[in-house]
């Protein structure tokens, strides 16, 4: 059984292993149009409506906050923080084994 990562372990991960260059192009190219959410305490997304001007801003946020998990919206908005002026949405499947 795995145990939850400590804040120290999460900070180390985001500092030493996570790299925005590993983000798929379909996320990084339109990052300004997407809403992000984060789980900071291991109980699900509890910090939503975050918007980043680029991958460097996302990297800084992750290094500072060291969340348990990060979520990204499939919807695109001109104003993603307020979820206003919807542009489009991706069509995705979440298949669990």
Q: For residue 21, what are the domain limits?
A: 7-89
**What percent of the chain has a predicted confidence (pLDDT) above 70?**
98
In a domain, 94, yes or no: no
User: What pTM does this model have?
Assistant: 0.87
Locate tokens 């809403």: which residue?
35
Helix boundaries (H) for the chain? 7-16, 25-28, 55-65
In a domain, 2, yes or no: no
In a domain, 83, yes or no: yes
What does the pLDDT read at residue 96?
77
Question: What digits encode the pLDDT tens for the residues 7-46?
Answer: 999 999 999 999 999 999 999 999 999 999 999 998 999 9
Locate tokens 């379909």: which residue?
26
Residue 77 to residue 96: CA distance in whole angstroms: 28
Domain tally, the chain: 1
Structure tokens at 62: 């992750």
In a domain, 53, yes or no: yes
């Amino acid at each position: 059984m795995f145990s939850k990562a400590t804040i120290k372990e999460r900070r180390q991960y985001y500092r030493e292993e996570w790299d925005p260059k590993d983000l798929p192009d379909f996320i990084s190219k339109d990052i300004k149009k997407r809403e992000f959410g984060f789980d900071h305490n291991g109980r699900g997304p509890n910090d939503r409506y975050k918007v980043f001007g680029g991958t460097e801003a996302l990297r800084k946020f992750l290094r500072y906050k060291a969340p348990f998990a990060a979520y990204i919206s499939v919807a695109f908005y001109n104003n993603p923080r307020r979820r206003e002026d919807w542009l489009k949405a991706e069509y995705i499947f979440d298949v669990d084994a």
